[in-house]
Amino acid sequence: MEQFHLRWRSPKSFSLGFLLALFLLAVLATPARAWDIWLVTDHNRILVIRDVETSPHQEYIITHDDVPDAHTRFGYFGFGDIGFSLTGKLYGISTTLEQKSHLYTIDLNTGHITQLQPQLPFEWGNALEFGLRTDIGYIGGGLESYQPYRYLAGFYAFYDENPTTTTLWHDMRADYPQGGYTGGYTEANGYLYAIWGQGNWNSHQTYLLQITTDAAGNFVSYTNLGDAESHGAPEGIWGLNSDGAHLYGLSGQTLYRITIENGVATYHKVLDFSLLPGEHVNGSSSQIADLSLNLTTSTSSPTPGNPFRLTVNIHNAGPYDANSTTAQVTLPVGLTLVNSSTATGTFAATSGVWDVGTLPANQSATLTLTVQPEGSGSLTVQAQITHTGPVDPDSIASVGFAEDDWHDGQPDDDESTLTLHVASPPPTPTPPPPPQGGILLPVTGLPPGHLTTLKPPDHAYATLTLTLEIPALALRAPIVGVPQGPQGWDVRWLGNTVGWLEGTAFPTWAGNTVLTGHVWNAANTPGIFVNLKRLRFGDRILIHAGELTYTYEVRENRLLRPDDTSLALAHKDYNWLTLLTCEDYSPTSGTYRYRRMVRAVLTTVK
């Protein structure tokens, strides 16, 4: 009479296929994760369940080629398990009997499989998973040998995706003298979890082991968390998978969530698979995508009322595309969102959720937020990847900022915190009163019709990293700072630059910023503001400050008397821009009769 001590779907079924379970370790009250679970069935089909616990839906991917050494005596064939590697390959392990198993590579585009040599040191291959942060591939089977009949001595492993390195990773015979069989591996919460089985097809137990390893992935010790059959999964559990924090287990038909309390694992049914008649799931795995998030700012010294830019960058180091990727950006009270822009996905301003969608391997996505502090003090901005389809090898989406995702003592690179220290801007100096018999508004033009010789200025103009642009006038020029003296501002040496009148609001800050430019230059050529009078309501005026562009729209264009300071230098609470130049030169008096004033209001910052 034949003995058969492999892994069994159910005591009620003689069918011998088994399924690799996806384990998710979590307390029931913990918010459920929703990553993707890839499955292989005994009908050679590759399936995937997307968003397992939020909106689970199953997709058919491909049917792979027949496995030439798979055992079919009891209706089983194909792979006993599959595993995605860190190099971007999908492997399968064959279900053999009376001959040794092999590893194969599987092409997800064509379904073609390629056998690897040499053969493995056991039969009925049914466990395959790659370490997420080591070069170890964990493997196992149902028997070391069918003729003569022998259980496995313990857990096997190979290295660098090379079957020639296969070795007995840990011998279990000290605790189980007759040996046993394996049923799956996964990593979570700093442990390696494995299935260890005992018994035959109508009387068996599958145990969940919590294994402690060292940094290199070598065995240290283990804890037996009990059998599945008496803790919620009567048909047994044959495989494991995880996103790094949570465990799931599968039988041939059903997905279970696993919780661990007081050293005992309990199994909670999540869903039944949608399968063909007579079809069973044999194994499972998850694709891998190494995502990282970085949060930066365009300024190290923000001030109230002055917008600046926050940049969120997500990079996918692969090896697989990261589908269904989302991130959460949390702005504190006191930091107002002005606008946002991204070329990848969409950003919801009300919720702060950035729906990236699919981020291909070795590519990045960028979200730019223009924000404005409303007051001084410390403000903390946080950004975190909250969901993605693949498993991340060094961080876990949606795990809180205060937690060490992998319990490895290393920073988690899927989240970023930025603390901003917003200082109050220095008070705007009050312009001095005009001198007796003099004027306050600067003379912004030299006499036309002849060259003017200028002596060196008494005070150098301040260099600013700012540029003024007026598209309607095809004008683009740097802005310099003009110091304020007892008699006002001396702008004779501006040439083809634009002068900011110190004492008015600094360009791009809240308040009334006054900029001047020549209508006529000392070289007897038109000045950069010679056509200022052509600007109309709604025309755009831009100030470029580093990575930010401040856009103003014209609201007023009028003439002023040279001594009329009440309008040009009027106080403003919001961000206004005033452009000044001279107009209507009088040869008799040798002066300009008027000042041309254009006033514009800030509309956008990008």
Query: Could you tell me the sign of the dihedral formed by the alpha carbons of 299, 304, 307, 312, in that order?
Result: positive
DSSP, collapsed to helix, strand or coil, labels residue 473 as helix
What is the pTM assigned to this prediction? 0.71
d(CA 186, CA 258) in angstroms, rounded, equals 13
For residue 568, what is the enclosing H or E element?
helix 565-568
pLDDT at 434: 46
Average pLDDT over residues 323-345: 93
The residues near 12 (Cβ < 8 Å, ≥ 6 apart) are: none
Nearest alpha-carbon partner for 279 in 311, 246, 253:
253
pLDDT at 54: 78
| Residue 432: count of CB within 10 angstroms of its CB | 13
pLDDT at 493: 78
Strand partners of residue 569: none
Average pLDDT over residues 501-515: 90
Encode pLDDT of 172-204 as tens digits: 999 999 999 998 999 988 899 999 998 765 557
pLDDT at 202: 58
**pLDDT at 458 exceeding the cut of 90:** no
Percent pLDDT > 90 in the chain is 53
Encode pLDDT of 337-387 as tens digits: 989 999 999 999 999 999 999 999 999 999 999 998 988 889 999 999 988
DSSP result, 85-140: -TTS-EEEEE--SSS---EEEE-TTT--EEE-SS--SSEEEEEEEE-SSSSEEEEE
d(CA 141, CA 180) in angstroms, rounded, equals 9
Average pLDDT over residues 533-555: 92
> Which segment of 63-77, 119-133, 493-507 scores lowest on mean pLDDT?
63-77
* Residue in the structure block whose two tokens are 């856009």: 551
**pLDDT at 485 exceeding the cut of 70:** yes
> According to the 3-state scheme, what is the secondary structure of 345-398?
CEEECCCCEEEEEEECCCEEEEEEEEEEECCCEEEEEEEEEEECCCECCCCCCC
**pLDDT at 464 exceeding the cut of 60:** yes
Encode pLDDT of 108-117 as tens digits: 999 999 999 9
d(CA 104, CA 508) in angstroms, rounded, equals 63
Please give the mean pLDDT across all residues of the chain. 84
The residues near 218 (Cβ < 8 Å, ≥ 6 apart) are: none
Encode pLDDT of 411-438 as tens digits: 778 889 999 998 875 554 444 444 444 4
pLDDT at 429: 43
> Which segment of 50-59, 197-206, 499-508 scores lowest on mean pLDDT?
197-206
Encode pLDDT of 270-289 as tens digits: 999 999 999 999 999 999 99
pLDDT at 21: 31
| Cis peptide preceding 486, ω within 30 of 0 | no
Q: DSSP secondary-structure letter at 530?
A: T
Average pLDDT over residues 200-225: 87
Token pair for residue 505? 């609001």
pLDDT at 70: 85
Encode pLDDT of 581-605 as tens digits: 988 888 887 888 888 999 999 999 8
Encode pLDDT of 136-168 as tens digits: 999 999 899 888 889 999 999 999 999 999 999
Encode pLDDT of 5-41 as tens digits: 333 322 222 233 332 233 333 333 334 445 899 999 9
Encode pLDDT of 557-578 as tens digits: 998 888 887 888 888 888 999 9
**Could you tell me the pLDDT band of residue 479, with boundaries at 50, 70 and 90?**
very high
pLDDT at 42: 92
Nearest alpha-carbon partner for 201 in 400, 16, 361, 458:
16
Q: What is the dihedral of CA 447, 457, 489, 531, to 10 degrees?
A: 40
The residues near 290 (Cβ < 8 Å, ≥ 6 apart) are: 316, 317, 318, 392, 393, 394
Average pLDDT over residues 248-252: 91
Q: DSSP secondary-structure letter at 472?
A: G
pLDDT at 122: 95
- What structural domains and CATH numbers belong to the chain? 37-285 (2.120.10), 289-422 (2.60.40.10), 462-605 (2.40.260.10)
